[in-house]
Structures are given as structure tokens and as C-alpha cells.
Structure 1
């Protein structure tokens, strides 16, 4: 098992942010973590990376116990955090990668840096100061920094934020390519379109995991039926095979303005997050 959390709790100021989280992630998986702000996504990622210590529970990454062995584990982890400020703004993109490659003892760093900058569309900006980069360009450089030492696991918190639609597509394509080479990816994101259909989607609410399944299974056969009954709008969720039965039931209830729409992933998530 690449990543394993057992009965993990974490709190701040007497508020539990993670509550009895149990999670197993296998080597080579592409995992997406979604949920509302404050649901515990970023805290979970920091716990996995060893940047936060759980109040209770156990965290292991490639058999490293993260509380005691986080330094050893850091050599196989690539991490990008939301609102990360680790780049040196008075250095160029290439100089930044040189600094971080040195921290990891990467010998052929220039060859790797050239490849990453080109692959992420930063080749023409490699000699510009980071302070001249746009938000999206800095996000890409952070990803390059996280990959400079060839990690086995990528932990990414909202790395797609701040990117234009084309850049989102390019970065997702690169992540898919890395995953196909065996890199385990754990991505916290509210952007879900374009991700691999076989990706695993974990939904969090109030510090707990409330759903965990393949991304494709959250929306592929769900329909939403809306209608007006006695002046009130009602909504019915049905699968393909239930459609005729649900429509007959609504007609018996003298429903009007009946509309059928294919449910999308975001609607499914909203329902999950609003369930009691």
C-alpha cells in the first residue's frame, strides 16, 4: 500500500478538522479529493506529506511512518500546496529549479529542468524573474519544482487554480502521462472535468470521507426530473432504467412542466454535500 491512514484525527483551536479518517491509496492510483471549503482536504494532504502531525492515528507512506520518518519519505514525495510561497521571486525559473534540485542532490538537474520547463510551457520564460510570472506560470513552476527529483508520489493542492482553460488541459494531460508511468497522484481540486474517468474520487465533508468511488460512477447513468405539482417544483433523481416508472408516477400526481436532464458530476457532489 502506497499511502495508508488509520483513524486519523486533527484539530485546531478545539475544532476537529479531520475526524477518524481511514484511507488506503495503492501505488499508481490517480486520486482526486473534492469537497467544500473547510471540509479538511488541504489538512489531509498536509498530514499525508508529513507537514502536519495528526493528533491521533497513524500515517504511512511507502512504509515510512510519517511522524518519525517524514524526512526519509520526503525524498519520494513531490508536494505543491495551495497558496505556496516557496519560490524565490528574485531568481529566474531556471535558477529556482537549480536551488531545489540541489536540496535533493539531483545531479543531472539541468537536463530535467529543461524538460520540465518545456513540457509545462515555460521554456521561453526560464530566464525571467519569477516576480514577472503570472499566477498560472508560478503554479506551473511549482509543479516543475515538485517533479525535479522524480518523486514516486505527487501531492497536489489546487494546482489547477489560476490556470486558463488551455493550461488546465495541458497540466491534466501531463499528470495523466506521469500517472501512466507509475507516479501515484493525489490531487485536491474543485475542477473535475477532463480528469481520467478511471480516477478515484474522494468526497469530504466536515472532516470525514463521505464518498469514495471511481469518477465515472458518480454521474454516468443518472437523470434529473423536475416538474411542478400543485404549484410547487419537485425534483426526482432516477437511473436510466427507472425513467419510465418515475414519469408515470409524476403523471398520476398531475405533474406539469416535466423536464428531464442528464445529471452532471457537480450536481451529484452538491447532493452528497447537502445530505444530512
Structure 2
């Protein structure tokens, strides 16, 4: 089955390269276009020269052979074919490198996503990448436990804070159960991008600083556990009971919007109180949310 899927992907990659090559004229890439041409767009040999790859090897690639192109080679071909960010990402996906493509329209969506998060108030909401770094969030998330922005920037990783920061440890009434859920979800995301170099520093830091993390990680539990009840102790408004709703972003499928919805009336009232206090400047002045940064 795996080989069949690889063969399909290789054929689709070849067809895609041919289609993009046919759409380019020599003049568009700075090549002379004189004489009669038997192809509508660029020749295979011309693409190979522009990408600095072998002509025979590039022909095999278009023919759908299993030549396993590297990220660097696909990037060179993408440059040669003048691909847009969306087209580049599609090329990397077909080439077997789903994590290497540009994040599509992520940067263009920044202001719109931040507006969405703000409009979700009083519900805490955050955009998070697979290794639990908050890329953007609303004021309710910032102050849900304490002030996230009062922490050093290098420590603002939600998985790391669960295991190391006193306020976050105290902020979960069932702390070890919450940590187990975090690790199981972290494992699930790890499996999606196990070769990504961003994992090594996070996992290494957690292993070095938290014996609890080591024990839970070595259990190798995997679960996304949607809708699980979370009990949070907010330093500002008291105990909260919330359930997560997690949504993938079309702009970058490695980023997730997480919304914390109240599980009872008391929590609903307390989240509204939190939002009101933030709006009045009663908590550290008017809340300042982080600007969205690219999801790597």
C-alpha cells in the first residue's frame, strides 16, 4: 500500500511539473525564444539548466519515477518554474516533504486571525504550533492563569510551562492528569513531523528539567483527547472548567486554533468577569496581544 501511494504521488509530481513547465515561456525566465519550438512552454532541458540539475534526472522526475528529490532540489525547481508560495507548498507535498513548503497564505492571514481571536472573547483562544508554542492569542488566553507575557519569551511554551512554572503547575487542580494529556497530545503531533529539528531542543529541555515529563513521555501514550474537561485555577477569577475545541488552519495545516469554552455557568460568568476586568485595565492595564508570527 505504501509503495502504491508513493507511485501515485510520483506520477502526480511528474504531471504537475509538466503542467507548470508548459505555462512558462522562455522570455519569462530570461531564455532566448528564437526558432521553431515543438513545445508550448519550456523544454525539460531548460528547466534542468535553470534548476542546476541533470537533464536525465529531471526527465525521470517528470516521468514519475521514484527518484526521491531532496528539499533543496525541489526548491531549485520551484524557483526555476517561478512557483508561488501556494504552488511551492504543493510541490513539496507531492515530493514527499510536507513540512518544507512555505506556509501558504499564513502571513497574509495574520491580521484576520488576530481579529478572529479577539472576537472570540471572553473565551480564551490561541493559535498554536505542534510543539505548543503560542503564535497568537487573545487577552483572555493571556490572563487565563496569570500573565503569559510576564514570562521570559523563551519560556512561553505551553508544554514547558505545564511542567516547570509554579503558577502553571498550581493553575491545574489535576496537574499530573493534565500533564499526561499534554504529553499524549505532544506525542501525536510529534508523529506527524518526527524529523523536524524543532523537536530536539524542546524535548531535550523538558527531559533535563522535569522527571515527570520523562516518566510520561517514556510511557508513549498517544491521544488528542478532544473535548476533555480541563480544570484551571485562574489567579484572577478563580476556578474554571473548560473544554477545548481545536481547529486546523487552512493557511497552515500545522497550526491549530484552540478555543477554551466554558463547561458550566459559573465558568461562563468568570470568563466574562475576566474579560471585563481586562477591558477596564484592572489587570496589568489594557491587554496587549502578541503579533502573529510565522508558524515554522
The TM-score, its normalising length taken from structure 1, stands at: 0.30
Q: Which has the higher strand share?
A: 1
Between 1 and 2, higher relative CO (CA 8 Å, sep ≥ 6) is seen in 1
Q: Which has the higher helix share?
A: 2
